[in-house]
Structure 1
Amino acid sequence: MPGDVTAFAAQDLVLIDALLAVVAVVYLLYRRPRAFILRWVIAVVVVVIVGFVAAKIGAAVYTDPRPFTTDHIRPLVSRAPDNGFPSDHALLAAAIVTAVALVSPLWSLPFVLLGFLVDWARVGAGIHHVADVVGSALFVALGLLIAVFVAPLIVSWLSRRISGRLRGGAASGAQRPR
């Protein structure tokens, strides 16, 4: 990939990826039942929270200096010489793939390609090692694994609370005749 294209993909492609994902998800969820949308939102929130927390823990436990600080190469994108693990861009790209895949695995395929391009560009631009982008994907995968088990429990709990409030709220909120 030429330097300018790699720099663009390393820095800005994930933003285009996110915008396209929002459009795709809105389109795909438009006619879905509210129960499906609720399950999707809860699963995505769990994936994002677990992925983010795991990434923060991973960054605290494992230090991987950026390639341009250790390999004496000139990065295509300016970055601070801090810990490169994990890649925030790769974390977002993997979360985008997961969010779209939870609505439609088929529609997620172009986002998988965009995610690989983002990851490849981050490594090619000299600002991440392969372990940084793979670690990000693994953190999101951990979030998805936990979401598969936790999201149904949260949906069930919310359904009981909401239906209980609707039943109890209607009866207790009624005015008594005087």
Structure 2
Amino acid sequence: MNDNLFQLLNQFAGRYDWFDDLMTFCAQDIVWIMIAILGFLWITGKENNQKTVFYACLTTVVALLVASLIISPMVNHPRPFVDHQVHQLIAHAPDASFPSDHATFAFSLAFSILFAKRKTGVALLALAVITGIARVFVGVHYPADIGGAILLSFIIGFLVHKMRGKLDFIPLFFIRIYGKLVAKVSFLPRSQ
């Protein structure tokens, strides 16, 4: 089933240059849009937004560490282009593919924000889904790699969200530092 779903998406790669370019952008660069959204939330100067951004970053770091240091070495699943002839649109090292780091990054941000800010979270979740589909389309991940990233991101995001109240002293420390820096630069909004 994993191979069949991969072939279903990847078979369309290489047919239209404009669509390949779009999917390549989505596979590699859509995460920058997500980071920009987090940056905007931070510079609003609202403490709740800044704490949400902190927890999104914490979720992402923890999920990526679990993925790269524990899960990926244990599973050691090869990428599609290692085992099969595929339409590979982006260069990638032939390292382990499960779970997808790009998808883990995108879904960790999305779920973390979704737990705190519903509308923004839904928008980020849509971008994460597009990223996941694009990673399969360009030939560097299987659908299960994306599914694993989704599950891991959700679990870590949920656990971090549940611990928010107990960990608030950490983001508040960084928010205070930001506030002191902003006091010296007048064009940035202060934390409220």
TM class, shorter-chain normalised?
0.7 to 0.9
- Aligned residue pairs total 153
Following superposition, the deviation at residue 43 of structure 1 comes to 3.4
For residues 26-72 of structure 1, what are the alpha-carbon distances to aligned partners after superposition, in whole Å with 9 as ceiling and x for unaligned?
36x534xx4x4575356335422431232121101112211111121
Q: Is the 8 A contact 1:50 1:142 kept in 2?
A: no
Root mean square deviation, CA, Å: 2.5
How far apart, in 2, do the equivalents of 1:81 and 1:108 lie?
32
How far apart, in 2, do the equivalents of 1:71 and 1:111 lie?
32
- Relative to 1, partners in 2 of residues 1:74 and 1:117: Cα closer, same or farther, differing over 3 Å? same
- Relative to 1, partners in 2 of residues 1:3 and 1:108: Cα closer, same or farther, differing over 3 Å? same
Following superposition, the deviation at residue 121 of structure 1 comes to 0.4
Give the number of the structure whose alpha-carbon radius of gyration is greater: 1
TM-score, normalization by structure 1: 0.73
For residues 69-105 of structure 1, what are the alpha-carbon distances to aligned partners after superposition, in whole Å with 9 as ceiling and x for unaligned?
1121130101111111121111111122134324411
- Relative to 1, partners in 2 of residues 1:80 and 1:21: Cα closer, same or farther, differing over 3 Å? same
Following superposition, the deviation at residue 112 of structure 1 comes to 1.4
Which 4+ stretches in 1 moved above 4 angstroms? Answer: none
Which of the residues 108, 123, 132 maps onto 2:145? 132
What are the residue-to-residue correspondences of 1:8-87 with 2, within 5 Å? 8-23=25-40, 25-26=41-42, 30-31=45-46, 34=47, 36=48, 39-40=51-52, 43-56=55-68, 57-87=70-100
For residues 148-169 of structure 1, what are the alpha-carbon distances to aligned partners after superposition, in whole Å with 9 as ceiling and x for unaligned?
33332233xx49xx9xxxxxxx
Q: Is the 8 A contact 1:40 1:102 kept in 2?
A: no
TM-score, normalization by structure 2: 0.68
How far apart, in 2, do the equivalents of 1:75 and 1:151 lie?
41
Q: Which runs of 5+ in 1 are unaligned?
A: 163-178
Answering whether residue 23 of structure 2 is matched by residue 6 of structure 1, we say yes
- Relative to 1, partners in 2 of residues 1:75 and 1:38: Cα closer, same or farther, differing over 3 Å? closer
Following superposition, the deviation at residue 122 of structure 1 comes to 0.2
Q: Which runs of 5+ in 2 are unaligned?
A: 1-11, 13-18, 174-192
Instruction: Report the counterpart of residue 167 of structure 1 in structure 2.
Output: none
Which of the residues 147, 150, 153 maps onto 2:163? 150
Instruction: Report the counterpart of residue 168 of structure 1 in structure 2.
Output: none
Instruction: Report the counterpart of residue 184 of structure 2 in structure 1.
Output: none
How far apart, in 1, do the equivalents of 2:33 and 2:127 lie?
9
Q: Is the 8 A contact 1:46 1:151 kept in 2?
A: no
Amino acid at match of 2:55: A
How far apart, in 1, do the equivalents of 2:166 and 2:51 lie?
10
- Relative to 1, partners in 2 of residues 1:40 and 1:129: Cα closer, same or farther, differing over 3 Å? same
Which of the residues 132, 136, 150 maps onto 1:119? 132
How far apart, in 1, do the equivalents of 2:116 and 2:39 lie?
12
SS of aligned partner of 1:122: helix
For residues 4-45 of structure 1, what are the alpha-carbon distances to aligned partners after superposition, in whole Å with 9 as ceiling and x for unaligned?
21122112222223223322x236x534xx4x4575356335
